[in-house]
Amino acid sequence: MPTSPSLVTINHFRMEFDTHTVIDDLSFDIKRGETFGLLGANGSGKTTIIRALLGIYQPTSGDLSIDGKAYAVDGGVRLGYLPEERGLYKKETVMTVMIYFGRLKGMTRSAAEKWSLDYLRRVGLSEKAKTRLDKLSGGQQQKVQLGVTIMNNPELLILDEPTKGFDPINRRLLMNIIEEHKKAGATIIFVTHQMEEVERLCDRIILLKDGRPSAYGTIADVKKDHEGASLDDIFVKIYGDHTESEQE
Amino acid sequence: MHNLNTVISFEVVRTLKKKTFWVTALSFPVVITVVFAIIFFSNQATEQATLDTQNQKFSLAITDESNAITPQLITQLGAKTLTDKQQGIQQVKDGSLDAYFYYPSELDKQKVEVYAKDVGLFDNSRYQGTADALLNQSIATTVDTETVAILKNKVDFSSVTFKDGIEYDGFKQLIAPGLFLVLFYILVTMFGSQMLTSTTEEKENRVIEMLLTTIKARTLIIGKILSLIILALIQIVIILIPILVIYLQFGDVLALPNIDLANLPLDPVRITVGAIIFALSFLLFTGLLVAIGSAVPTAREASGFFGLIMMLIFGPLYAFTLFISAPHSSIVTFLSYFPLTAPIPLMLRNAVGNLTIPEALIGIAVLGVSAAIVLAIAIRMFRYGALEYSKILSLKSIFATKKNTPRR
């Protein structure tokens, strides 16, 4: 049974790359079952936070925990992670890759196969099940990658710019799938630049600038703090006319 | 033409800017120099060992029913004569004699029989050489040159060597433990490239982040290595089955040498030592190739190291005569215990029977510890080089004090 209302806790997190500080003394938490927007311009440190949370990066200082402890693949938390740098085994078929990841996530082969077929049917790729990934379009590969991410009903879903490369129709499909997981009680960390997606899905947000939070709270609270402005306007106001684009 | 020049200058300049180009380019002359030095010292030591063998005296008894051997030559050799063939064979068996030659009454119809104490695969030839020389010199003094020529072509020899009182055939003894050396050669040459690129695939496909958050790096790397070993075993079966079928079914038609497989000597100690050295060597080089694959961003850059690794592994083959003729020389000891060159000398020496048990244990320890270290480095490199899509990891960055310091 969960003992804390927060699934993700970040305390005094600091991250330096060589002599450059990307994140500086950052603290926030993400509650169980909420959809949390991690927002910021390119280079603001969003992906760095995710990688440090998942143990891919070691923080320079501070603590990042999921369910009270540092993330480990065998730590008991069912994770679904769609990274910013994405790709799959391109020379393998769609089903081979989906079953492989399903098995890695603890599903039986038959369960992974059944789940994959259902998913592919839903996203209109059932005829591509035996097609090699490099024969699919970029958007189709993205759908397969999303499928791999949400296999085995993750309780923590981390999506780093999930709609990147999607056309409006597929973006809507993706948003519906995310909403379903939200309704099912999953905790979702949503990294994006798309403010309309944030308004539609997120319960709370943090907006980062120079490795520090410029805004943090529910969407209503953040808007209230900025005199009712839209999230787009708040973003532009915080960053000015242009954003940095070479860090991350 | 302009575009061609642009492409050429672009490709040349960007390759020259890569560290891997210079590392591999500069390493080859060094390795080739080392190989030639090995060959040079090997030849010198082998010649010396051959001279030493030729000058070595051994106790000898002779039974001459042909009356062709000159008694003075027997005396000059310091050999004694025996009338009872079985007595001569028995004295060799019990070690009171080094060698016994039996010259039958009809040299053109019966074989000259040589019985001797085993002194190693190639040194055993000195006995038959002496028996042959003794016969040639004897008949040269008693018959005309035409008869000498006829006899030279007509006389056959058979040699039997003994070790600890038991008949011992060095060539047959070599077959079972020597198979590990052949398998190692086949597997590394066939699978080396696959091992090297097995971890670059995840980087090139950008699948590494999803993997590392789903499975432990250690599990993934060990899984990859074990899968390569399984594939290698399948490959061995694929190679061996047709050879065996052809040999058994068509051996007579194709006039293949008749090897009595049922009576093939199987020395359990040498086979066990050979199997352990083979397994650890394979693990060491798989780990090494996987580590290199983890440290570089693309398969193309990984392949630059392949030739270098192959030269390190198989370079010692150039000194194979030395491993047999001078197994306890400094250079053989060095090559046998230096992890990157150890597999070939250890397996070859074990096959020919000049690797002592203490030497085998040291070699196994060296290979085992090296394989464990290399495997740990490979896992660490994969783990911390995971997101390095554009540059080669250095050992320094892998073992930096702040162990997980991110790299960009």
Same domain membership, residue A226 and residue A199: yes
Q: With an 8 Å Cβ cutoff, are A56 and B386 in contact?
A: yes
Averaged pLDDT, A83-92:
84
CATH classification of the domain holding A182: 3.40.50.300
Cβ proximity of B309 and B288 under 8 Å: yes
Would you state the torsion angle of the CA atoms of residues B326, B327, B328, B332, taken in this order, to the nearest 10 degrees?
100
Same domain membership, residue A222 and residue A103: no
Give CA–CA dist A135/A138, Å, rounded: 9
pLDDT tens track for A26-42: 999 999 999 999 998 88
Same domain membership, residue A246 and residue A191: yes
**From the candidates B204, B209, B219, which should be mutated to test the interface with A, based on the most A CB atoms within 10 A?**
B209
Nearby residues of B294 by Cβ (< 8 Å), 6 or more positions away: B199, B200, B221, B378, B381, B382, B385, B393
Q: Does B206 touch chain A (CB under 8 A)?
A: yes
Q: How many CA atoms lie within 13 A of A99 on its CB side?
A: 14
Give CA–CA dist B8/B26, Å, rounded: 22
What is residue B408's predicted lDDT score, i.e. its pLDDT? 34
Tokens of A116: 């994959």
Same domain membership, residue A172 and residue A95: no
Higher pLDDT, A99 or B264: A99
Q: With an 8 Å Cβ cutoff, are A79 and B408 in contact?
A: no
B361-372 CB burial, b ≥16 within 10 A, e <16? ebbbebbbebbe
Same domain membership, residue A234 and residue A113: no
Complete domains list, chain B, with CATH = 12-48+171-398 (no CATH), 58-168 (3.40.1710.10)
> Where in the sequence is the domain holding A131, given as residue range(s)?
84-152
| Selection from B267, B293, B265, B308 nearest residue B386 by Cα | B293
* Predicted TM-score (pTM) of this structure: 0.71
Q: With an 8 Å Cβ cutoff, are A56 and B387 in contact?
A: yes
- Which residue among A57, A73, A149 places its CB closest to the CB of B406? A57
Give CA–CA dist B59/A71, Å, rounded: 76
Same domain membership, residue A115 and residue A68: no
Q: What is the ipTM of this complex?
A: 0.85
- Which residue among B205, B213, B402 places its CB closest to the CB of A54? B213
In angstroms, how far is CA B134 from the centroid of its own chain?
Answer: 35
Same domain membership, residue A129 and residue A67: no
Mean pLDDT by 10 residues, chain B (408 residues): 66 68 70 70 66 70 85 84 87 87 84 84 76 82 65 74 75 79 81 75 79 85 79 78 80 70 77 92 86 77 75 80 80 89 91 89 95 87 67 57 40
Q: With an 8 Å Cβ cutoff, are A85 and B389 in contact?
A: yes
What is residue B145's predicted lDDT score, i.e. its pLDDT? 64
| Selection from A157, A190, A216 nearest residue A27 by Cα | A216
Q: With an 8 Å Cβ cutoff, are B215 and A15 in contact?
A: no
Same domain membership, residue A136 and residue A36: no
Q: What is the DSSP string of B14-49?
A: HHHT-HHHHHHHHHHHHHHHHHHHHHHHHHHHHHHH
Same domain membership, residue A40 and residue A160: yes
Closest B-chain CA to A82: B210
CA distances from B223 to A148, B228, B339 (A): 21, 9, 24
- Which residue among A71, A88, A104 places its CB closest to the CB of B205? A88
Q: With an 8 Å Cβ cutoff, are B213 and A79 in contact?
A: yes
Higher pLDDT, A85 or A176: A176
Provide the domain count of chain A.
2
Q: Does B109 touch chain A (CB under 8 A)?
A: no
**From the candidates A14, A104, A156, which should be mutated to test the interface with B, based on the most B CB atoms within 10 A?**
A104
Query: How distant is the Cα of B251 from the closest Cα of chain A, in angstroms?
Result: 43
